[in-house]
């Protein structure tokens, strides 16, 4: 029953908080939902120990989920090392976000609804990562999409929050359309949607093709590209990334939950789970690498000049997800999962730390109106420093150093054109990551206070303990989660020997040995990320500590490069011109012409209105006077007589 409790406890918390929250007192719903999540997190640690350390992988069948002809699907819990890692990440971060939210949402009157949505989101994500078949995975996949819509638009009285929720929902539907087509193709090819059945038969389908429009298309390449299209939407990869920064309209705990460890990592989990398919589709793997590297570079470049503290961290998330996909694209799935694991700690820490800053500064999010606060909110400052050191890859002592460098080295060790492409862009992105991360620290905590009134700082204070405790725990993970000395505790994620930790949960062909070959890369490759980190730090120090007046002067010039990056490569404007405006124009034409003039004009305003007018005229004949009826009869007799006379005359 251990695994059932892990998955369904958050659902119980969501139902109770959502249905009975208003009757449970001021804090009843949030305490109960948080309790269920904490129990689920504790059980997940036990499950991780049993599966990853004691090698007790298992599959638990719960009930028949779908039975329609050849399509028979059970709801089963697939508990292997890949699942165990995700259970710890999802329930651990979610439990800490629940605890943090008790303090952060203290003054919100809709707390029961908020905690219900949080727990529902966690349940959907757990259903996704424990799935034993593609249908169950799709259920969880769409579940997190629904819950994210509810959470991003939680403050539904704000038009911007509603717009952001709708944008996230629609963009994810684009990716999910590809995912759904991929599932249909899998069933058509393998006659099953069960993971074990499909993965065992994958090698036998390698190289097989199907005819499409006169061309022979590789089957597994097509399936993998369609699946990855779903991953691009859920993990906000290049071209389908536009929803992620706007998701900041939700409460800050939502940002931590969605961007750190749950929804956005679902795409990475999907690719790693489907590694038996991707290993047989080299073109798809190359595409994953290209998209991941492009996303890492693009998002890092956009984050350079953003001023909203949460948006900077959001673009950082988008960039770090690109790192994970590059690792998966060069078949270093273990490195991708390692970075996913460490990233969950330091990115949740940064988001919740940003929430503490916003909470202290009366909901201010513009870094240009901050500064000079490191002595006033010292705990938040120190904890965010730990997250920043880990994100930028400060050597040896922080987890991000170990996981991110493993990806960069693996990309180089792949010795392929796409691997080199990934290595170059990830190395450059490392410098940009360091710059915008330290820019955030310097603008938020150092220098002079740039708010409206210096007396505003008189009321600024550090977050309450219920918000700081989760930050301390996350900071501990951000520091030590990647240490090699603790590999026996956290698991040796990046071992090339499958029997040591992953035990077959990840498939990898012998020829795809980038992870093993990374140990042999030149010293300059190993030092490159650290060197770029130092370059980014020094540039940020010069601009925001030594010459703090310089950034404003450069921004005032509004040069083309600055505008290009500040406006996010103009993707929103481009999509507005290509998709939004034409869609609105088509909708307006269908409304005004199709519905208004044609349908209404011919139907309700045409034939129906004419019949009604004629009916009203005829009704007037029903006057009730006998002489009117007699006159009508006389007219009728005359008409009939005339007809018969004329007909008879014509006949003669």
Torsion sign across C-alpha atoms 234, 90, 475, 483: negative
Which residues on neighbouring strands pair with residue 103, listed in sequence order? none
Bigger pLDDT: 463 vs 91: 91
552-608 confidence digits (pLDDT tens): 888 888 889 889 988 889 998 999 899 889 989 998 888 888 787 788 777 777 777
pTM to 2 decimals? Answer: 0.90
What does the pLDDT average to over 215-219? 89
Helix, coil or strand: residue 250: coil
What does the pLDDT average to over 415-425? 95
Report d(CA 313, CA 299) in Å as an integer. 10
Which band of pLDDT confidence, cut at 50, 70 and 90, is reported for residue 455? low
Which band of pLDDT confidence, cut at 50, 70 and 90, is reported for residue 122? very high
Element (H, E) at 73: strand 71-79
74-120 confidence digits (pLDDT tens): 899 999 999 999 999 999 999 999 999 999 888 888 889 999 999 99
Asked whether the predicted pLDDT for residue 372 surpasses 60, the reply is yes
Exposure string of 470-505, with b = 16+ CB inside 10 Å and e = fewer, is: bbebbbebbbbbbbeeebeebbbbbebeeeebbeeb
Asked whether the predicted pLDDT for residue 530 surpasses 70, the reply is yes
pLDDT at position 643 is: 82
> What's phi and psi for 133, nearest 5 deg?
-155, 165
Report which of 542, 572, 570, 538 is spatially closest to residue 554, judged by C-alpha positions.
542
361-to-108, 253, 372, 383 alpha-carbon distances in Å:
17, 17, 12, 17
pLDDT at position 486 is: 57
What does the pLDDT average to over 384-411? 92
Asked whether the predicted pLDDT for residue 284 surpasses 90, the reply is yes
Number of Cβ within 10 Å of residue 187's Cβ equals 16
367-to-373, 436, 451, 533, 652 alpha-carbon distances in Å:
12, 12, 10, 22, 104
pLDDT at position 491 is: 60
Torsion sign across C-alpha atoms 495, 496, 498, 504: positive
Helix, coil or strand: residue 194: strand
**Share above pLDDT 90 across residues of the chain, in percent, rounded to a whole number:** 58
Q: What's the whole-number average pLDDT of the chain?
A: 89
Structure tokens given for 195: 């993971």
The residue with tokens 């990046």 is 494
Which band of pLDDT confidence, cut at 50, 70 and 90, is reported for residue 495? low
21-66 confidence digits (pLDDT tens): 888 877 889 999 999 999 999 999 999 989 877 788 899 999 888 8
Asked whether the predicted pLDDT for residue 487 surpasses 60, the reply is no
Lowest mean pLDDT among 219-233, 477-491, 526-540: 477-491
Report d(CA 320, CA 569) in Å as an integer. 18
Report d(CA 557, CA 537) in Å as an integer. 24
Phi-psi category of 215—alpha, beta or left, where left has phi over 0 and alpha has psi -120 to 50?
beta
Which residues on neighbouring strands pair with residue 59, listed in sequence order? 78
Exposure string of 382-402, with b = 16+ CB inside 10 Å and e = fewer, is: ebbbbbbbbbbbbeeebbbbb
Angle value at C-alpha 105, between 100 and 107, nearest 5 degrees: 140
Report d(CA 645, CA 511) in Å as an integer. 103
pLDDT at position 639 is: 87
pLDDT at position 67 is: 84
């Amino acid at each position: 029953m251990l695994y059932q409790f892990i998955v369904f406890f958050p659902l119980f918390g969501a139902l109770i908080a959502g249905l009975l929250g208003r009757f449970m007192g001021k804090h009843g719903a949030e305490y109960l939902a948080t309790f269920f999540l904490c129990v689920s997190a504790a059980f997940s640690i036990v499950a991780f120990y049993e599966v990853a350390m004691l090698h007790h992988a298992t599959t638990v069948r719960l009930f028949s989920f779908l039975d329609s002809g050849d399509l028979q699907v059970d709801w089963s819990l697939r508990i292997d090392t890949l699942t165990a890692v995700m259970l710890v990440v999802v329930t651990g971060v979610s439990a800490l976000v629940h605890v943090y939210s008790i303090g952060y949402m203290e003054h919100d009157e809709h707390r029961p609804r908020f905690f219900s949505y949080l727990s529902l989101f966690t349940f959907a994500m757990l259903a996704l990562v424990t799935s034993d078949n593609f249908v169950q995975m799709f259920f969880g996949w769409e579940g997190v999409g629904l819950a994210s819509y509810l959470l991003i638009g939680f403050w539904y009285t704000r038009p911007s929050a509603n717009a952001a929720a709708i944008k996230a929902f629609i963009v994810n539907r684009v990716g999910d359309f590809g995912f759904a087509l991929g599932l249909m193709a899998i069933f058509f090819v393998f006659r099953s949607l069960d993971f074990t059945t499909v993965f065992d038969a994958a090698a036998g389908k390698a190289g097989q093709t199907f005819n499409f429009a006169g061309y022979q298309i590789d089957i597994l390449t097509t399936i993998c590209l369609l699946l990855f299209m779903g991953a691009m939407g859920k993990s906000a990869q290049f071209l389908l990334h536009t929803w992620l920064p706007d998701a900041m309209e939700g409460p800050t705990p939502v940002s931590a939950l969605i961007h750190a460890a749950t929804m956005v990592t679902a795409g990475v989990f999907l690719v790693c789970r489907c590694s038996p398919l991707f290993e047989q589709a080299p073109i798809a793997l190359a595409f994953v690498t290209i998209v991941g590297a492009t996303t890492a570079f693009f998002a890092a470049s956009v984050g350079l000049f953003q001023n909203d503290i949460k948006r900077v961290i959001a673009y950082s998330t988008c960039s770090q997800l690109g790192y994970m996909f590059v690792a998966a694209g060069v078949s270093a799935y273990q490195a991708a999962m390692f970075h996913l694991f460490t990233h969950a700690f330091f990115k949740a820490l940064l988001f919740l730390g940003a929430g503490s800053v916003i909470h202290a500064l009366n909901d201010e999010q513009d870094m240009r109106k901050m500064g000079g606060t490191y002595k006033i909110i010292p705990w938040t400052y120190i904890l965010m420093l730990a997250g920043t050191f880990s994100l930028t890859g400060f050597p040896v002592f922080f987890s991000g150093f170990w996981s991110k460098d493993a990806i960069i080295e693996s990309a180089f060790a792949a010795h392929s054109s796409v691997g080199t492409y990934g290595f170059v862009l990830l190395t450059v992105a490392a410098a940009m990551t360091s710059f915008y991360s330290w820019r955030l620290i310097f603008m938020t905590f150092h220098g002079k206070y740039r708010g409206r009134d210096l007396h505003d700082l008189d009321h600024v204070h550090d977050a309450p303990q219920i918000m700081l405790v989760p930050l301390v725990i996350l900071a501990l993970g951000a520091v030590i989660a990647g240490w090699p000395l603790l590999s026996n505790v956290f698991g040796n994620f990046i071992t090339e020997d499958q029997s040591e930790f992953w035990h077959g949960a990840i498939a990898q062909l012998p020829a795809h040995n980038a992870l093993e070959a990374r140990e042999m890369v030149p010293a300059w490759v190993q030092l490159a990320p650290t060197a770029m980190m130092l370059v980014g730090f020094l540039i940020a120090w010069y601009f925001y500590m030594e010459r703090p007046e310089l950034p404003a002067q450069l921004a005032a010039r509004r040069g083309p490069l600055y505008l290009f990056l500040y406006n996010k490569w103009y993707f929103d404007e481009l999509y507005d011109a290509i998709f939004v405006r034409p869609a609105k124009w088509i909708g307006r034409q269908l409304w005004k012409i199709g519905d208004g003039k044609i349908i209404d004009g011919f139907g309700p305003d045409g034939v129906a209105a004419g019949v009604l007018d004629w009916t009203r005229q005829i009704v007037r004949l029903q006057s009730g006077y006998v002489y009117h009826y007699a006159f009508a009869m006389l007219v009728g007799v005359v008409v009939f007589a005339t007809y018969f006379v004329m007909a008879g005359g014509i006949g003669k």
